Structure 1
């Protein structure tokens, strides 16, 4: 069976639209899509993976969960929970690839959720699409789809000129 290029394009467009829809709808339900940008959680999460974070109350987190939180400098980190201090409402975290625990306790109020799952390599695609070349690619892809459909309609006779008699 021969795969036609048009079908490959349709599958690629469908996959792209599914990714865009997931990215657009995730925040509406409290979910986050984060690109893994460091190797501190390797091998569980590698640079370029996409971490999908579910909303989670800090009180419901458990030892071993990978919590995502904001640090004092505003950066976003996902590390494994090593200890929970309920009375002080803090957690102690550590990157799997790091030798020691993080040098700060994370306040419950800074916890944004926990990693539900990761998608290997998809973060590279997301990073590309968020950059200037990615936007150019999206615009070019859209133009190619519009012009491709118009060309196909003309070639197949779908685009007809005005009828005689004014109708």
Structure 2
């Protein structure tokens, strides 16, 4: 079986549209898609992975979950829960690659959810597509697909309609 370049383009467009749809629909349901930019959770979650975060009430989290929260400087962090202090409404977290627990307990109010799953390497693709070269790539891919379709119509002699006389 021979793969035609036209089919590769169709698959690329379908993959891009699926990613765009997921990125659009996820926030509508409270989910987040975040590119992992730090190795603090390695080897469980690596730099360049795409972390999919589900909205969770802090009271429903358990020791061992990877909680995602906002720090005082506005950064978004996902670290494993080491301890829960329900009386003070805080959790103690630690990156898997770090030797010590994080220096400050995280208030329930700062918790936004937990990592439901990750997609290895997809964060690299998302980061690329969000940058200026990524936009150029998307525009170029679209232009190539339009050109390919136009060439197909010209080579085949235009759209095939029903022949006269019912043939």
TM-score between both structures, scaled by the size of structure 1: 0.92
Q: CA RMSD in A?
A: 1.3
Q: Structure 2 CA distance, aligned partners of 1:25 and 1:35?
A: 17
> Mapping of 1:19-34 within 5 angstroms?
19-34=19-34
List, as ranges, runs of 4+ consecutive aligned residues in structure 1 with deviation greater than 3 Å.
none
Residue 164 (structure 1) aligns with: none
Residue matched to 2:150: 150
2:90 is matched with which residue? 90
How far does residue 151 in structure 1 lie from its aligned partner after superposition?
A: 2.0
State how far apart, in whole Å, the 2-side matches of 1:157 and 1:61 are: 63
Normalised TM-score (structure 2): 0.92
User: Who is 2:122 aligned against?
Assistant: 122
Following superposition, the deviation at residue 140 of structure 1 comes to 1.4
Deviates more, 1:17-26 or 1:93-102: 17-26
**Deviation of 1:156 (Å):** 1.4
CA–CA distance in 1 between the matches of 2:122 and 2:139? 20
Question: What residue in structure 2 maps to residue 35 of structure 1?
Answer: 35
* Deviation at residue 157 of structure 1 after TM alignment: 1.8
CA distance in 1, matches of 2:24, 2:152: 31
Return the offset for 1:147: 2.3
1:55-94 deviations in Å (ceiling 9; x for gaps):
1111110000000100001001000000111111111100
Tell me the equivalent position of 1:106.
Answer: 106
Distance in 1 (CA, whole Å) between partners of 2:96 and 2:137 is 36
**Unaligned ranges ≥5, structure 2:** 161-167
SS in 2 for 1:125: helix
Aligned to 1:63: 63
SS of the equivalent of 1:134 reads helix
**Hey, what does 1:131 align to over in structure 2?**
131
Partners in 2 of 1:71 and 1:102 — Cα distance?
Answer: 11
2:112 match: secondary structure = strand
Q: Distance in 2 between matches of 1:22 and 1:116?
A: 15
TM-aligned CA deviation for residue 159 of structure 1:
5.7
